[in-house]
Amino acid sequence: MISLERANLFPKTKPVAKVFVATVKADVSSEAVKLAKQLRDRNIPTQIDLKERSLSKQLEYVNASGIPYMIVLGRRELESRVVKIKKMLTREEIEIGLEEVCSRIESLE
Residue 93 has pLDDT above 80, yes or no: yes
CA-nearest of 40, 63, 36 to 49 is: 36
pLDDT band at 13 (very low <50, low <70, confident <90, very high): low
Give the pTM. 0.83
Residue 99 has pLDDT above 80, yes or no: yes
Residue 44 has pLDDT above 70, yes or no: yes
- pLDDT number for residue 73: 93
Contacts of 80 (CB under 8 A, 6+ apart): none
- pLDDT number for residue 91: 92
Superfamily grouping for domain 14-96:
Anticodon-binding domain (3.40.50.800)
